Amino acid sequence: MANIKFSQFTAESDIANFDDIVGYAGVVNTRISPANLASSLITLSGGPYLPLTAGATAPLTGDLFVNSSTLTIGDGVSNSQINLVTTPALSGTITGGGTQILSQVPGTNLVIGPNNDIDIEEFSFIAGGPLVNFDSAIQVSSALIDPTGSGGSAGYVLTSNGPGLGISWEQKNPACQVKISGTAGLANTNDITDFLVPYNTVTVNDDATIFNPVVTGGLGNQGAIQVLKAGRYAFQARYSSFDLAQSALPTVNGNVFFRITAATDTVASGIGTKQCVLQDLIVATSGNGEAVVTGAGYMDLNANDYFKIIGFHNGATGGSGTQGYPVNSNANFNEPQLWLVKIQ
């Protein structure tokens, strides 16, 4: 039994200067060496309770386990960090599940990923190469990539160009394409009569929140594309018709002609309001009278406007002699079609 008070003990700041630390267990007086105290704190139930300190002369080795889902290295407020320190010619690595995630060798690239997915080049600017190279894969969040422009504007795509080639930021403008395919819902068109070009098949619609193509209802009721969002649109249209026989030069028949016009409307059917002539000319025709007209342009459209292509011809000889036949589903790649692209 000690014969002096604890307050009279000599103060000591270095545990290495202790022979033993004393205590009791029930009625038994006990003692433990500093080394055994340190090792027992690691395995003590509810622990480990051993403070972790490390430095150049006392490196931290072994496994580090945490009881929570987050391991914070740093002060836990604003300076959380991991310093990957390497010695010359040796690599420092961080691994997860036995797979290398981060690796650094002095004088070489910083490698990220189990398959060298990302290389951050140490001397890229000196060598004139890219700073970051993407190898096998790159994934970005929806905040950075929007391939369809679903918000009503152009979509954006971030893609890898391959090892050593960096990445590209590509703008993809949403678009809609319709064409005439097959004969369902079609009818012949009369001379000297405006008609709504009866596009009946949707081939592209990047974004249904922007484009609502109307491809049913027959001649006079189908072929328009409703735009659900206001903006500036680029368009390209083509229409092809049989039975417009045109004589050759120099005896061209000036009464045989064909034109297409861009128009807008507030309803799907009908002619609407003509905006601009896309092509209006004496068309050259093939032996069977096949005539093709095309045109393109730009237009500012209001939300819910219907964009249409209006056809008009004179000199058709099909049917009763005053009808033109829409070209469809042929092998000459001249099926009537309409592209509408939102550019702003």
**7 phi/psi in degrees, rounded to 5:** -65, -20
128: pLDDT strictly greater than 60: no
268-293 confidence digits (pLDDT tens): 999 999 999 998 776 767 666 778 89
CB 178 within 8 A of CB 338: yes
Comparing C-alpha atoms, which of 243, 251, 229, 213 is closest to residue 301?
Answer: 229
Over range 191-218, report the average pLDDT.
93
DSSP annotation of 127 reads: H
Residue that has been written with the tokens 């386990």 in this structure: 65
Chain mean pLDDT for the chain: 79
In the structure, what pLDDT confidence band is assigned to residue 111 with cuts at 50, 70 and 90? confident
In the structure, what pLDDT confidence band is assigned to residue 74 with cuts at 50, 70 and 90? low
What domains are defined for the chain? 6-43 (no CATH), 92-172 (no CATH), 175-342 (2.60.120.40)
137-149 confidence digits (pLDDT tens): 555 555 555 555 5
Note the pLDDT of residue 245.
79
Per-residue b/e over 293-332, b at no fewer than 16 CB within 10 Å? Answer: bebeeebebeeebbbbbbbbbbbbbbeeebbbbbbbeeee
Higher pLDDT, 20 or 53: 20
Tokens of 234: 């680029």
User: Is-above-0.75 flag for pTM?
Assistant: no
Dihedral sign for Cα 26, 32, 38, 40, please: negative
